[in-house]
Amino acid sequence: MRALAARASYRRDVQFSVWYDSTYFLESRAGAGASLYISRNVRLDYDYNRGRNDYPQEFGIQKRRDDYQIHAVGVYFQLRKDTAFGIIASRWVRDSSLDLWDDDRNFVGFNLTYDF
């Protein structure tokens, strides 16, 4: 059994937007995280992502650019050999070039993973 697993990622992609006056944006995101197996059946996760969304179409006069950070922690409980149930809490902070869109949010979610 491995006690610690580390990961890193980089993503750059065009995403569709829900905004009628800007139908897409360019997302650039880098992240890192780790998983710590504290017992045979329980795993703790932490992930950090930092990114930027660039909207090439103009919102009025000013172009929109969003910088954001996401911190996420999770705990997974093994159900079967490769299957686990997870509870995840995350904090998302966005700093936008348009002050109206500055925001921070907290999320809690559940998932099922087949890679325990």
By the 8 A CB rule, do 31 and 9 touch? yes
Q: State how far the alpha carbon of 6 is from the alpha carbons of 29, 44, 69, in Å.
A: 17, 12, 19
Higher pLDDT, 52 or 55: 52
Q: Which residues contact 20 (CB under 8 A, 6 or more apart)?
A: none
- For 53-103, how does the pLDDT look when each residue is reduced to its tens digit (9 = 90+)? 998 866 566 788 899 999 999 999 999 989 999 999 999 999 988 888 889
Mean pLDDT (whole number) for 14-32: 86
Q: Residue 53's pLDDT is what? A: 93
Q: Which residue has the higher pLDDT, 115 or 76?
A: 76
What integer pLDDT is reported at residue 89 of this predicted model? 98
The whole-model pTM stands at 0.82
Report the percent of the chain where pLDDT is more than 70. 92
Six token digits for residue 86: 């997870």
Report which of residues 48 and 97 the model is more confident about.
48
**Exposure string for 1-39, b = 16+ CB within 10 A, e = fewer:** eeeeeeeeeeeeeeeeeeeeeeeebebebebebebebee
